[in-house]
Amino acid sequence: MTLWDHLREIRYRLVVSAVAIVVLFIVAFIFYPQIVELILRPYSLAADVVRTQNPGANIQVVNSGVAAPMLLALKSAGLAAIIAACPVWIYQLWAFIVPGLLTKEKRVARLFLLSAIPLFIAGVVVGYLILPKAFEFMLGFTVADAGVANLQDLNDFLALEMQMLLVFGISFLLPVVLVMMNLMGVVKAKALAKARPIAIFGCFVFGAVATPSGDPFSMLALSLPLTIMYLVSEVICSRHDARLLKEQLRNGEITLAEAEARERGE
């Protein structure tokens, strides 16, 4: 394919993904009051805990501005549409990669599709479940005795929650990317093992930087799963490399000396 063919292919995949998101956006917009309730639930749970511990705390959610209600409806429906459309846009990403792969690699790419969707959804769910504790931590700094009201702008709050959910969802795709790159021969298990200390440190740094709330609960809820998934990916890649090495040795593609050298990472 020429450069223009690739650009047309990208355009087609983006259009299909956008159409799916728009269709689901229309459906979600009909039910946006229920979606707003679902979005506000983590905050409500956190606020109830803070009020129980600090009865004098004045914590309220406000939606100021003439256009604010409409923006809230659009943002909430958009968030729901992006998450619900993940099978479509993940498939379009897979379909864009597939034409450039060999027959064996195409079978590998199917694993990407089958595992990426549940992992993305799992990441969003984990992010949603950790939100009450994160909001409780942040709202816990409310000073009741000073008579200062803690007013939360609903649209700003929604933007924060949207970032949290999408960051968790996309981050959970890490093992899929690593394993797929290994199965395609781009990354070896030895390289993953060598980079393990830096990768684990990077997971915690990423968890601290990528979570917009800035609380330790969100950071750990993102960093620990990323670390575990990296280690699991390393094990899967190691088994695949060992099986591939035995197959190449059995087929006479490499010598015993070459196989031993590869096992040593040389």
Q: Please give the structure tokens belonging to residue 89.
A: 């846009």
Under the banding of pLDDT at 50, 70 and 90, the label for residue 100 is: low
- Contact (CB, 8 A) for 119 and 175: yes
d(CA 128, CA 73): 19
- Contact (CB, 8 A) for 127 and 212: no
Residue (of 120, 29, 5) closest to 78 by Cα position: 29
d(CA 254, CA 248): 6
Q: Please give the structure tokens belonging to residue 49.
A: 């805990």
pLDDT digits (tens, 9 = 90+) for 50-87: 888 777 777 777 877 777 888 888 888 998 999 999 88
d(CA 159, CA 31): 19
pLDDT digits (tens, 9 = 90+) for 205-247: 888 777 766 667 778 888 888 898 889 888 888 887 888 777 7
* Domain boundaries along the sequence of the chain: 1-101+130-162, 173-266
d(CA 163, CA 165): 6
